[in-house]
Amino acid sequence: MSQFWKPGSEKPRLLDDEEGGVLFYSASASSSSGFGYSNIEKQRQRLPVYKYRTAILYLVETHATTIIVGETGSGKTTQIPQYLKEAGWADGGRVIACTQPRRLAVQAVASRVAEEMGVKLGEEVGYTIRFEDLSKTGVTMVKFLTDGVLLREMMDDPLLTKYSVIMVDEAHERSLSTDILLGLLKKIQRRRPELRLIISSATIEAKSMSTFFQTSRKRRGLEGEESGPRTDPAILSVEGRGFNVQIHHIEEPVPDYLQAAVSTVLSIHEQEPMGDILVFLTGENDIDAAVQLLNEEAQNNGKHSSGLVVLPLYSGLSRADQDLIFSPTPRGKRKVVISTNIAETSLTLEGIVYVVDSGFSKQRFYNPISDIENLVVAPISKASARQRAGRAGRVRPGKCYRLYTEEYFVNEMSAHAIPEMQRSNLVSCVIQLKALGIDNILGFDWPASPSPEAMIRALEVLYSLGVLDDDAKLTSPLGFQVAEIPLDPMISKTILSSNQLGCSEEIITIAAILSVQSIWVSARGAQRELDEAKMRFAAAEGDHVTYLSVYKGFIQSGKSSQWCYKNFINYHAMKKVIEIREQLRRIAQRLGIVLKSCERDMEVVRKAVTAGFFANACCLEAHSQGGMYKTIRSAQEVYIHPSSVLFRVNPKWIIYNSLVSTDRQYMRNVISIDPSWLMEAAPHFYRQQRNPIAS
Ligand code: CDP
Ligand code: MG
């Protein structure tokens, strides 16, 4: 087993050992030795978490679960895995895992840690995100991965035997996958007492997490006290070194947070001393718009904005753009990073002195009554607002400008966000647990219980998809095959149906394209040109078929970036599509799907989509103005999104891929269908509806 504190050195001081297993340590003397540290080594030692190195290693050695709470930027993510490796937790072919809810964070921290360790990314330090594996079995010792990927790994190795320590990072985010993972890890711990868990986060109700991991049985063998770790969790809190942040609220509510954010940036630039600015908006669209507004300002009105370097930060970003975010600001310039809430706690940017907080983020909401899940721009919680403000105090005292009133902050904002588990569609969650052999899902030990209604809805959909049988067990082979494909079960079912329909090549292309954010370049100010470009590919059947022509064009152009540029297509997204498509082909072949093209027969493509997405069928309201549709499932009012090629075309029967909600519920990626296919695809599902298909 690993040794960590140097013989003869002081044992960390214990403040509160027995009370519910809560331990606090004061920083003990550093255990470093040697001389001639490189710059990087010095930087590492300056991080707040360094003072707790010995304490952390001691707790991990002696406790099955250690909960570490520490301010963002204190070094939890980048340092703790390295400490564990230095202490020997990766010896003998074992691997240290560190999970993140976000793909971009996985890539960014892995490359940072590889750099700090002076190794090539993908060797000793690697990462795995869906469709991208930069790790080597037998070589990689520290592996960063999304929590979703770790869940997938459980399908092949249910006890995750190759890992010695699993650090579940950013646990305060309470993402759906994090919660499922925590529930499963608790089970694994019982079978693998030697496994160590670290739950780490920026803010967390450490007590409730600790209660969750408290096992009722006090110790595993009573007499075997020395042989295994204590099963009650330890809690360690890392004191940060954040500077004071002055908070400014707006006096009157703003009608347009985007515009307000842009003018706030400009006035900071005009009036405040040097220091970078971090702006929190909600997603790719408003971020790109803000970037463009600021750049236009620079062109038209140079004196307000000269010296600004404006950069977007969101998950679809290419590696090159990510690197720009982390590179130091050029002398005499001021960097403005406009970000989603990824910069709230997952990533730390050096040099931020000013934060502009819109008060919003994109959040997932699910209504089990209507069975509708969508992404909504919604107010953040007080906890998030505090985190965002904290980003301004990294290097020196900073300022945070909130684009909402103090009254609103105090009286309207909720204290904490609701765990995603309680506001998500649970179809993917249920199928994953089923695939892991967990049958009593309602009785599963969750960190936060999902609603029974949502669970029942999920079971219903999976039953209709033919994935679960009457006893709610995975069907064979379909259920197991659907679970095997790392995509939403509805897409997976579409892929499997394409096998019988003879259009697997086309459906795999569509699945790959639906896996990237958008293949179009966002074109503010050039909307007309973008629409014209789209028209060159547009197919009467809808977006899915349109994507097939884009893909074909891209391949025929020899995968040319020039061609993409000319056609308003995002070249990086298309390269990603090619990669994902290749992986999906491999998975399909492994599942025995015959790769076959249907050539020009688009009817089978539409039928395959129907086989997976029948639950998302909608019908145009006969006498409605302005293209109102109703979902067949629950008669919800929905509209075709303006980005769809079927916008204003409004065919009578359509199926959508997903919903986004702004002023209305908009359907993204729609395809026209024949209603008779619905009964064919899911007789059970549609028999019970008072359905308009019959009328
Ligand atoms: O996880 P936590 O928020 O506690 O901190 P961290 O992500 O480990 O970051 C520790 C330090 O590493 C911060 O000062 C970051 O600025 C730095 N870092 C960096 O410079 N580049 C990265 N890609 C990641 C972290
Ligand atoms: Mg972190």
DSSP codes joined into one string, 72-116: TTSSHHHHHHHHHHHTTTTGGG-EEEEEES-HHHHHHHHHHHHHH
Q: What is the mean pLDDT of residues 669-681?
A: 95
For position 145, what pLDDT does the model report? 98
- Out of 124-133, 206-215, 552-561, which region has the weakest mean confidence (pLDDT)? 206-215
For position 303, what pLDDT does the model report? 62
For position 304, what pLDDT does the model report? 60
Confidence of residue 204 (pLDDT cuts 50, 70, 90): low
| 371, 616 contact by CB (below 8 A) | no
Quick one: CA dihedral 649, 652, 658, 660, positive or negative?
Answer: positive
Element (H, E) at 200: strand 196-201
Which numbered ligand comes closest to the C-alpha of 170?
Answer: 2
Answer whether 203 contacts ligand 1 (Cβ < 6 A): no
Give me ligand 1 centre to Cα 235, in Å. 22
Cα-based angle 114, 116, 117 (whole degrees, multiple of 5) = 65
Residue of 27, 20, 33 whose CA lies nearest to 53 = 27
Q: How far is the C-alpha of 238 from the C-alpha of 69, rounded, in Å? A: 6
For position 320, what pLDDT does the model report? 82
For position 442, what pLDDT does the model report? 82
Q: How far is the C-alpha of 306 from the C-alpha of 480, rounded, in Å? A: 58
Q: How far is the C-alpha of 632 from the C-alpha of 629, rounded, in Å? A: 9
Answer whether 70 contacts ligand 1 (Cβ < 6 A): yes
For position 240, what pLDDT does the model report? 75
Tokens 């297993």 locate to 21
For position 249, what pLDDT does the model report? 97
pLDDT in tens, 277-305: 999 999 988 999 999 999 888 777 766 66
pLDDT in tens, 599-614: 999 999 999 999 999 9
For position 524, what pLDDT does the model report? 66
Q: What is the mean pLDDT of residues 350-354?
A: 93
Answer whether 348 contacts ligand 1 (Cβ < 6 A): yes
Is the pLDDT score of 207 beyond 60?
yes
CA dist 140 to 127, 194, 198, 636, Å? 9, 20, 19, 49
Which numbered ligand comes closest to the C-alpha of 104?
Answer: 1
Is the pLDDT score of 225 beyond 80?
no
For position 282, what pLDDT does the model report? 95
Query: How do beta strands 308-313 and 398-402 pair?
Result: unpaired
Of residues 190 and 374, more confidence is placed in 190
Is the pLDDT score of 112 beyond 70?
yes
Answer whether 350 contacts ligand 1 (Cβ < 6 A): yes
Atom 14 of ligand 1, residue of closest alpha carbon:
73
Cα-based angle 354, 357, 362 (whole degrees, multiple of 5) = 140
Token pair in block for residue 656: 């959508």
Confidence of residue 247 (pLDDT cuts 50, 70, 90): very high
Q: How far is the C-alpha of 261 from the C-alpha of 339, rounded, in Å? A: 12
Is the pLDDT score of 689 beyond 60?
no
Is the pLDDT score of 273 beyond 60?
yes
For position 30, what pLDDT does the model report? 35
The phi, psi pair for 66, rounded to 5°, reads: -125, 130
For position 17, what pLDDT does the model report? 33
Answer whether 112 contacts ligand 1 (Cβ < 6 A): yes
- Out of 2-6, 75-79, 137-141, 269-273, which region has the weakest mean confidence (pLDDT)? 2-6
Q: What is the mean pLDDT of residues 649-659?
A: 95
What count of other Cβ atoms lies within 10 Å of the Cβ of residue 601?
Answer: 14
What count of other Cβ atoms lies within 10 Å of the Cβ of residue 635?
Answer: 14
Q: What is the mean pLDDT of residues 218-232?
A: 61
- Out of 195-204, 223-232, 329-338, 369-378, which region has the weakest mean confidence (pLDDT)? 223-232
Q: What is the mean pLDDT of residues 514-537?
A: 86
Q: How far is the C-alpha of 151 from the C-alpha of 466, rounded, in Å? A: 23
Confidence of residue 227 (pLDDT cuts 50, 70, 90): low
For position 151, what pLDDT does the model report? 96
CA atoms within 13 A on the CB side of 165: 34
Mutate to test the pocket of ligand 1, among 72, 74, 78, 350 (most ligand atoms within 8 A of CB): 78
Is the pLDDT score of 594 beyond 70?
yes
Q: How far is the C-alpha of 652 from the C-alpha of 642, rounded, in Å? A: 17
Answer whether 428 contacts ligand 1 (Cβ < 6 A): no
Query: DSSP secondary structure string, 120-137?
Result: -BTTTEEEEETTEEE--T
Confidence of residue 37 (pLDDT cuts 50, 70, 90): low
Q: Averaging pLDDT over each range in 11-20, 361-370, 519-528, which range is the top one?
A: 361-370
Confidence of residue 199 (pLDDT cuts 50, 70, 90): very high
| CB within 8 Å of 76: residues ≥ 6 apart | 49, 68, 70, 169, 200, 238
Q: What is the mean pLDDT of residues 620-649?
A: 91
Q: How far is the C-alpha of 489 from the C-alpha of 432, rounded, in Å? A: 10
Is the pLDDT score of 542 beyond 90?
yes
Can you tell me which atom of ligand 1 is nearest the CA of 169?
A: 1
Percent above pLDDT 90 for the chain: 71
For position 13, what pLDDT does the model report? 41
Mutate to test the pocket of ligand 1, among 102, 112, 239, 276 (most ligand atoms within 8 A of CB): 112
Mean pLDDT, the chain, as a whole number? 88
Q: What is the mean pLDDT of residues 425-448?
A: 91
Confidence of residue 315 (pLDDT cuts 50, 70, 90): confident
Does 477 sit behind a cis peptide bond, omega within 30 degrees of 0 on the bond before it? yes
Confidence of residue 80 (pLDDT cuts 50, 70, 90): very high
Answer whether 486 contacts ligand 1 (Cβ < 6 A): no
Is the pLDDT score of 33 beyond 90?
no
Tokens 């061609």 locate to 563
